[in-house]
Amino acid sequence: MWVKLTALSSILSHLLISISLVEAYIRCYDTGNFTVNSTYGKNRDLLLASLPPNVSTKGGFFTANFGQNADKVYALGMCRGDSTPDDCYKCVNSTFHELIANCPNQKEALAWRGKPCHVHYANHSFYGTPQDLGVPAAGYNTGDITFNLTEFDTVWESLMDTVVRNASNGSSTLKYATGEADFTITQTIYALMQCTPDLSYQNCDFCLRQSISYYERCCHGKQGGYVQRPSCYFQWDFPPPPAASPPPQSVNTIKKGNYRSARRHAEEGGHRSSQTLVIIIVPIVILVAVLVILAVAILRKRIAKPKQDDQNAKTRVESLQFDFDAVRVATEDFSDANILGRGGFGPVYKGKLEDGRQVAIKRLSENSGQGQQEFKNEVMLLAKLQHRNLVRLLGFSLEQKE
């Protein structure tokens, strides 16, 4: 049973800490609001909708911004380090919808949900800096550690320190680590930690140690718990021992009469082991060298890719522009008989292009409030998005007021 210190509950499994947060922890900031159907609101919804395909296909972490000046929105999405792309997509997709539903007009909000995953948006840049919630989301297992607490604390603190350092030492795409330490023959302490990878080593280390310190103050002596902050996540578990276990075999099991033969066997085994060790080490060194070379090549490619993507997107947008007369012909001069439906920004027509393709054409109404620059920005963003669950953009037309 988990005690909820905030509006959050979780289920903990001791096998590699397969935690699943049952309810989303959602925080709607009171730093400012926006009006319904405002440019900021449209930018927020569009940007959040781009997170699921991008987070799930880019290693579980993605940041982006969209808009200009006061209407600019910043967003971040992250999945737990052991999530599959499919689980990651589902989690981020559900989370951003819950975030919009619970924080309909707040300029900043965040949520932890699912396995878990994390979504955060704001009207200011928050990348690279640990974000402070004040009192973090936290919970603990109601089971108590009833014996050798001092000895347990020593093992626990050593494990936490190791996992903090391993997580903080992660890459710019993943700062995630797990660890375990045996306390008794039948009981093991498990730990899992993760930071948003935009944090530096120092900031990730600081965020995780702050979480551990908070847990020690609130929940010392319990058999497991978690602490969630906007920039890092900490979880540990100490499952109870099995109901019945066979007695451990003593290490002193060699009979006196067999001591000589056992010693000879050990010496022969040691000689063979040294030969085997040499054989194993050489290919390992070669493999490590190859991996380092590949990592450097991939890193250089990733650094160069954003600039290339932006240029490709601009080129693609230009190639997608349709002549307005072609759109008019495809819809039979925007005949009412071809209207499929109407939305807040204008009607949607069915049409047929010269090559025979059936298409849906949305015509923005004059009172939609969307300017040419906003329209171009939206087209550029949609041109970048490619996913099986998103409608593919075939093209656009921009001519005078149309």
Same domain for 228 and 158, yes or no, is yes
State how many domains the chain has.
3
Whether 86 and 155 share a structural domain: no
* 47 belongs to a structural domain: yes
The answer to whether the beta carbons of residues 141 and 222 sit under 8 Å apart is yes
Claim to verify: residue 232 and residue 177 sit in the same structural domain? yes
Q: Is residue 356 part of a domain?
A: yes
Residue 73 located in a structural domain: yes
Is this model's pTM higher than 0.75 or not?
Answer: no
pLDDT tens across 198-235, in order?
Answer: 999 999 999 999 999 999 998 889 989 999 999 999 99
Non-local (6+) Cβ contacts of 262 within 8 A are: 254
Summarised one tens digit per residue, pLDDT across range 331-343 is 888 888 888 777 6
| 218 phi and psi angles, rounded to 5 deg | -90, -30
CB 168 within 8 A of CB 208: yes
Report the C-alpha gap between 96 and 64 in whole angstroms. 14
Q: Within this chain, do residues 233 and 147 fall inside the same structural domain, yes or no? A: yes
Domain stops at, among 237, 255, 280? 237
Query: Which parts of 158-292 are beta strand (E)?
Result: 175-182, 188-195, 224-228, 232-237
What is the full per-residue pLDDT of the chain (402 aa) written as tens digits?
334 343 333 333 333 333 333 356 899 999 899 998 899 999 999 999 999 999 999 999 999 999 999 999 999 999 999 999 999 999 999 999 999 999 999 999 999 876 689 999 999 999 998 877 667 888 888 888 888 899 999 999 999 999 999 999 999 999 999 999 999 888 899 999 999 999 999 999 999 999 999 999 988 899 899 999 999 999 999 886 665 444 333 333 222 233 233 333 334 444 444 455 556 677 788 888 888 888 888 888 777 665 565 566 566 656 777 777 888 888 888 888 888 777 666 788 788 888 888 888 888 776 666 666 667 777 777 766 666 556 677 787 777 667
Q: Based on the fold, state whether residues 114 and 197 are members of the same structural domain.
A: no
Strand order, beta sheet including 224-228: 2-4, 137-141, 224-228, 232-237, 188-195, 175-182
User: Does residue 108 sit within a domain?
Assistant: yes
Q: Residue 297: inside a domain, yes or no?
A: no
Q: Map 299-351 to HEC letters.
A: HHHHHHHHHHHHHHHHHHHHHCECCHHHHHHHCCCCCHHHEEEEECCEEEEEE
Residue 4 maps to a domain: no
DSSP string, 261-310: HHHHHHHHHHHHHHHHHHHHHHHHHHHHHHHHHHHHHHHHHHHHHHHHHH
**Which of residues 237, 259, 283 is at a domain's end?**
237
Question: Domain holding 188: CATH number?
Answer: 3.30.430.20
Task: Give the model confidence (pLDDT) of 139-178 as tens digits.
Answer: 888 888 888 899 999 999 999 999 999 999 999 999 999 9
Please tell me whether residues 115 and 188 are part of one structural domain.
no
- Same domain for 117 and 157: no
Domain range for 39: 31-122
In a domain, 341, yes or no: yes
> Is residue 112 located within the same domain as residue 70?
yes
Instruction: Say if residues 256 and 237 touch (Cβ distance below 8 Å).
Output: no
Residues 55 and 112 in one domain: yes
3-state DSSP percent of the chain in helix, strand and coil, to 5 = 40, 25, 35
Between CA 349 and CA 58 the distance in angstroms is 35
The CATH code of the domain that includes 340 is 3.30.200.20
CA 282 to chain centre: 37
